[in-house]
């Protein structure tokens, strides 16, 4: 499976709301497998389709490399929708493969209920908490054109302006394939 270039901060597709998936064909299954290879190569734990230039409502999660989550099953969520957020919120440091070398604390609900379709397009509902809930919220935001840097303190956003501009201009050292232009879109 080829590694796919990851879109970076400033890439237009990261700010778009993605399209719903209407069918899962062999091309979609191959895309999902490539997404897992790409994410693992970059040492990520979640990846949304628009992060590899694909305008589809798909994200994957694999937190098995995180201590305490070794037995957690990797997941594919198609056309996800968070249907319930807990009142309890937690602050936790987040990073993003599309925003390398920048990390910040983000406040999010501790648990969520999410509906999605599996690769057979069968409806599923799942309640998750802690790290899994955080990763799913982060990836779900990607599908809606929201980045974790949008959710941080405005003063910190100002502080990140220069580093984000460097990322946008591809003036950062990244050890995984990235999109070459801000107009990158993977043609399937």
Give the pLDDT confidence of 58-92 residue by residue, as tens digits: 999 999 999 999 999 999 999 999 999 999 999 99
CATH of the domain at 107: 3.90.45.10
* Distance separating alpha carbons of residues 111 and 154, to the nearest angstrom: 25
Q: Which domain holds residue 70?
A: 12-168
Q: CB of 15 within 8 A of CB of 145?
A: yes
Q: What is the number of domains present in the chain? A: 1
In a domain, residue 147? The reply is: yes
In a domain, residue 177? The reply is: no
Active site residue 139: yes
Per-residue buried b or exposed e for 143-174, using 16+ beta carbons within 10 Å of the residue's own CB: beebbbbebbeeeeeeebeebbeebeeeebee
- The pTM of this model reads 0.95
Give the pLDDT confidence of 10-29 residue by residue, as tens digits: 999 999 999 999 999 999 99
pLDDT at residue 184 in the model: 78
Catalytic choice (27, 94, 139, 159): 139
- Give every residue of the chain whose pLDDT is below 50, as ranges: none
């Amino acid at each position: 499976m080829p590694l796919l270039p990851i879109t970076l901060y400033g890439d237009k597709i990261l700010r778009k709301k993605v399209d719903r998936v209407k069918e899962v064909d062999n091309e979609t299954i191959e895309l999902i497998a490539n997404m897992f290879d790409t994410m693992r190569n970059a040492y990520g734990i979640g990846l949304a389709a628009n992060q590899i230039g694909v305008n589809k409502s798909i994200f994957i999660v694999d937190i098995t490399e995180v201590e305490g989550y070794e037995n957690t099953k990797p997941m594919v969520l198609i056309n996800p929708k968070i249907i319930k957020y807990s009142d309890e919120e937690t602050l936790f440091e987040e990073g993003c493969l599309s925003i390398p070398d920048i990390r910040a604390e983000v406040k999010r609900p501790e648990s969520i209920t999410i509906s999605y379709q599996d690769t057979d397009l069968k409806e599923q509902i799942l309640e998750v908490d802690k790290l899994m809930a955080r990763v799913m919220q982060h990836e779900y935001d990607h599908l809606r054109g929201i980045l974790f840097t949008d959710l941080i303190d405005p003063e910190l956003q100002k502080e990140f302006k220069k580093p984000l501009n460097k990322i946008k201009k591809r003036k950062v050292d990244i050890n995984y394939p990235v999109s070459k232009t801000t107009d990158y879109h993977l043609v399937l």
